[in-house]
Structure formats: C-alpha cells, structure tokens
Structure 1
Amino acid sequence: MIVEVVGGAEERPEVRVVDVDDLTGLHLALGAVTDEEADQVLRDAGLGRMADAETGVLDVAALRAAAEPQAGAADWAQQWDGMLRYAGNEGWLADDGATVQVHVESAAGA
C-alpha cells in the first residue's frame, strides 16, 4: 500500500491511497512537493504527518478508512491485521496502535 502526496490541481498537493490490495508493504511516496507541503496535506487529510524527511507517521484508523473501500481482496481485513502485526513486531506501530511509522520514498512519475 502506498500513501502518495503529489502535486494536484493548480499545483496544490493532494494525498491519495493507492495499491490498497498490496499489504506486503506500506510507505509514503512524495512527488514534487516539499516536506512542509507533504506534512500539511497529510494533516489536512487527517492521515498523518511527516516526522522528518525520511519518516512519516500515519493514522491507522484514517488509513484503513481511506483504503478499505477500494479493497478488492476477500481477505483484505486479515491481510491488514497481518501488516499491522508485522509493523508492531518491527517497532513501527505505536504502543496504542493508533499510528504507524513509514519510510518516505520518491513518487517517481507521480
């Protein structure tokens, strides 16, 4: 699953959740936006924030709410739970399960 922040209409950044059926990985992909723009659009969308240039912090409930309606896999909920278990085992999931840390990558071509 990818959370993309890319230049949108009138060069205003927009956020979208894509590849929702691929729950083997989760990252934040930034297009031609600054870290500050990415942080603001994530906050405005209620999806999270930038921790630093290499790390994003996503709201688990908001991410699920954005992704699940697009899901096509019959066992998507189980895969989602597995992804969060893995994130927890790696130390990326907050103790209360409300947020998950993700790596920031370039959204080349976005």
Structure 2
Amino acid sequence: MIVEVVTGADERPQARVVDVDDLSKLFLALGEVTDEEAAEVLERSGLGRLTDGGTAVLDLAAVRAAAEPRATAPDWQSRWDELVTHARTQGRLSEDGAGLQVPVQSAAGA
C-alpha cells in the first residue's frame, strides 16, 4: 500500500492511498511536491506527518479508513493486522500505537 502526495488536476498537491490490496509494504511516495507542500497535505488530510526528508509517520486509523472500503482482497483485514503486528515487532509504531514510521520515496519509483 502506498500513501502518495502528488500534484492533483488543479495543480494543488493532494494525498491519496493507492495499491490498497498490497499489504506487503507501506510507504509514503512523493511526486513533484516540496517537503513543505507534502507536510501540509499530509497533516490536512489526517493521513500523517513528515518527520524528515526520508521518514514519515502515518496515522494507522486514517490510512485504514481510506483503504479498507476500496480493498478487494477477502483476507484484507487479517493482512492489515499482520502488517501492524510486524511493524510493532520492528519498533516502527509510535508510543501510543497510533502511528507507523515509514520510508519516503519518490513517486516515480513507486
């Protein structure tokens, strides 16, 4: 699954969740936007926040709410739970368990 920040049709950056059935990975992909634009759009959308140029913290509840209604895999919920459990074992969850630290990549490489 990918949370991406890209320039929308009206040339304003927008955040969206794509590849919702691929729960083997979760990362933030940035298109042709500045870090400042990406940070603003992520926070405004409620999907997360940038911590630096290479890392972001995504809000698990918001990402799930955006992805789950569009998921088509019958085992999506159990695979989501596995993704969160795996992140917890790797120490990538925030202290309160609500955020997940993910890498930031160029959308061109997504």
TM-score for the superposition, normalised by structure 2: 0.96
Quote the RMSD (CA, aligned, Å). Answer: 1.3
Task: Say if 2:38 is the partner of 1:41.
Answer: no
Say if 1:14 and 1:75 are closer, same or farther in 2 by CA, change over 3 A: same
2:56 equivalent in structure 1:
56
Percent identity for Structure 1 against Structure 2: 63
State how 1:2-13 maps to structure 2 within 5 Å. Answer: 2-13=2-13
Give the drift of 1:109: 7.6
In the alignment, the residues of structure 1 paired with residue 108 and residue 76 of structure 2 have an alpha-carbon distance, to the nearest angstrom, of 27
- 1:82-108 Cα shifts (integer Å, max 9, x gaps): 000111111111132100000000001
In the alignment, the residues of structure 2 paired with residue 38 and residue 97 of structure 1 have an alpha-carbon distance, to the nearest angstrom, of 23
Greater mean alpha carbon deviation, residues 73-82 or residues 94-103? 94-103
1:68 equivalent in structure 2:
68
Unaligned runs of 5+ in 2: none
1:77 equivalent in structure 2:
77
In the alignment, the residues of structure 2 paired with residue 52 and residue 108 of structure 1 have an alpha-carbon distance, to the nearest angstrom, of 19
Amino acid at match of 1:32: E
Aligned length: 110
Give the drift of 1:11: 1.4
Amino acid at match of 2:77: A
Unaligned runs of 5+ in 1: none
In the alignment, the residues of structure 2 paired with residue 36 and residue 49 of structure 1 have an alpha-carbon distance, to the nearest angstrom, of 11
